[in-house]
Amino acid sequence: MLSFIGRSIIQKIITLFFVSVVSFLIIHLAPGEPSQVDPLNPKFTPEMVERFREAFHLDKPLEVQYLYFYRDLFTGKTISWKDNQSVLKKIWERFLNSLLLFIVGTILMWTISFPIGIRSAIFRGGLYDRSSTFLSYFLISIPSFFFAYILIIFVVNSFHIPVIGMQTFGIGDTAWFSRAMDRIWHLLLPSILSAIAGIAVLSRYVRSQMLEVEGQDYVRTAKAKGLAADQVHYKHALRNALLPFVTMFGMILPGLIGGSVIIESIFAWPGMGRMAYEAILARDYPVILTINFVSAVLVLIGTFISDILYLVVDPRIRL
C-alpha cells in the first residue's frame, strides 16, 4: 500500500512538472504581447514599455523566465501584470466566491442525480424512465447561456427578483436576514444552472451502471434466497453500482477551478472563471499560469484521492 502511494505521488509530481512546462510554452509561444508591453499600446511611452519588459523579465530567455516565475510562485510573490496585486490573494478572493457557487451546485447535482438514475433503472422502460431520459437529453443539449437567459427572463418576470451579481446593489446595511435571503436568491439561479447539465449526465450514468449491475448473476442469487425486491435493489445491486462513483467523487475537486466562465459572465458573478477569462484577454501571464498550475494540482490530487478511494471500497483490489 505504502509503495503504491509513494510511486503514485512521484508519478504525479513528474506529470505536474511537464504540465507546467507545457502551459508555459503555450502562453509564450502564442503571438501577441501583454498589454503593458505592447508597443502599439498608446497609453505607454516607449521608455515605460522598456521598463515593464525588464520588470517582467520578458527580455530574458525562456528558461530563465520559467525559473523566475516558479520561484515567485512558490514564495508567494507572484504579481499580476494587470493591476499589480498579488496573484495568490486575487485567486483566493475569487476562489471563495466560486466556492459557494460550486458547493451548492455540487450538492444539488449529487443528491438529485442518484434517485433519478436509480428509479429509472429499476422501472426501466416505464413512463418515469422515458420522461427522465428525454429531459436529460434536453438539458444536455441546450446551450447553457440560452437556457440561462430563458430562466432569467422567467424568474425576473414572474418573481420580480433581481438575479444578477452576488447581491443586490445597495442592500448594504439591512438586517442580516434580508441580506441572507438576498444572497440565497442570487445564488439560486447560477447554482441550478451549473448543476443542471451535471445532473443530466450523472443521472444517465447512474442509470446505466444500475442497469448493468441488475443483470448480474448475484442479483438473481439474492432473489433466489427470498429477499424482498427493495432489499435486492438497494442492498445488493446499489452497493456494486456505486463503486465507480466513489472514484468520481474524488474528481470533484478539479471542478473547483473550472467554474463556468459563461455562467459567471451572465450573472456577473465575480468568480475564478471570469478572472481567468479577463487574464487571458489581457495576457496577464502570471495569473494565467498560476491558475493553470493550481488546476493541474487539483486534478492530480483528485485523481490520487480517487485511486485511494477505489482501493478502499472495492474488496477485490488489494495491494
Span 300-319, contacts to another protein by CB under 8 A: 300, 303, 314-316
Our finding on whether 127 is near another protein (CB under 8 A) is: no
User: Least distance in Å: CB of 172 to another protein?
Assistant: 28
* Identity of the residue, 143 or 172, whose beta carbon is nearer to another protein in the bound complex: 143
SS3 135: helix
* Identity of the residue, 117 or 178, whose beta carbon is nearer to another protein in the bound complex: 117
* Identity of the residue, 179 or 282, whose beta carbon is nearer to another protein in the bound complex: 282
> Do the Cβ atoms of 77 and 286 come closer than 8 Å?
no
Q: How far apart are CA 87 and CA 272, in angstroms?
A: 12
Q: Which of 94, 207, 233, 283 binds another protein (CB under 8 A)?
A: 283
Our finding on whether 135 is near another protein (CB under 8 A) is: no
Our finding on whether 39 is near another protein (CB under 8 A) is: no
User: Least distance in Å: CB of 140 to another protein?
Assistant: 6
Our finding on whether 280 is near another protein (CB under 8 A) is: yes
The phi and psi torsions of 293 (rounded to 5 degrees) equal -65, -45
Q: How far apart are CA 215 and CA 206, in angstroms?
A: 14
Q: Which of 215, 228, 257 is nearest to 97 (CA)?
A: 257
Long-range Cβ contact pairs of 85-89 (< 8 A, separation 24 or more): 87/286, 87/287, 87/290, 88/290
Span near another protein by CB under 8 A; candidates 87-95, 97-105, 107-115, 254-262: 254-262
* Identity of the residue, 9 or 22, whose beta carbon is nearer to another protein in the bound complex: 22
Our finding on whether 299 is near another protein (CB under 8 A) is: yes
Q: Which of 49, 91, 108, 276 binds another protein (CB under 8 A)?
A: 276
Which cell numbers in the block locate residue 204? 444517465
Q: Which of 5, 8, 15, 161 binds another protein (CB under 8 A)?
A: 15
The phi and psi torsions of 141 (rounded to 5 degrees) equal -90, -15
* Identity of the residue, 175 or 224, whose beta carbon is nearer to another protein in the bound complex: 224
Residue type for 66, please?
Y
Our finding on whether 262 is near another protein (CB under 8 A) is: yes
Q: Which of 183, 234, 228 is nearest to 213 (CA)?
A: 234
Our finding on whether 120 is near another protein (CB under 8 A) is: no
The Cα angle at residue 90 between residues 46 and 98, in degrees rounded to 5: 135
User: Least distance in Å: CB of 93 to another protein?
Assistant: 19
Residue type for 227, please?
L
Q: How far apart are CA 258 and CA 43, in angstroms?
A: 33
User: Which residues, numbered 186-245, are part of the site for another protein (CB under 8 A)?
Assistant: 212, 216-218, 220-229, 236, 239-240, 243
The H or E element containing residue 81 is: none
Q: Which of 91, 193, 199, 288 binds another protein (CB under 8 A)?
A: 288
Our finding on whether 94 is near another protein (CB under 8 A) is: no
Q: What's the chain's length in residues?
A: 319
